[in-house]
Amino acid sequence: MYEDYDEERERAERRPREALSPATVTRAVLRDVAELTGKQPSGVTALERDDDGWVVEVEVVEERRIPSSGDILSIYRAEATAAGSLTGFRRIRRYQRGQGND
């Protein structure tokens, strides 16, 4: 079906996407990390702004063990644009719970 021309919508689509708040970007990154790893993130360990957007470090429980002090955790570093789109992702650290500090 033919859609009527909408000048205002065309202008809005050409406009650069506005930067999102840190909380909104973090939620988007957490969702992407969960989807990419298949694991539920347990928290954000770092968040910083860079020239191109955001860098977010996310902790994930990789392997659950009994007792939980034996859990294997990982830190993932995710880079996102100011609009919240993931541009990079990698695991930077893997460790046993309770042995996280260097």
The domain segmentation of the chain, as residue ranges, is: 20-96
Q: How far is CA 26 from CA 29, 53, 62, 102, in A?
A: 5, 12, 20, 25
13-72 tens-digit pLDDT: 544 456 688 999 999 999 999 999 999 999 999 999 998 899 999 999 999 999 999 999
* pTM higher than the cut 0.85: no
Per-residue pLDDT of 68-94, as tens digits, reads 999 999 999 999 998 889 999 999 999
CA distances (Å), origin 28, targets 42, 54, 91, 102: 14, 11, 18, 29
Q: Is 23 exposed, middle or buried (0-12, 13-18, 19+ CB in 10 A)?
A: exposed
Residue 84 gets which letter from DSSP? Answer: S
Cα–Cα distance for residue pair 45/17, rounded to 1 Å: 27
Predicted pLDDT of residue 2 = 47
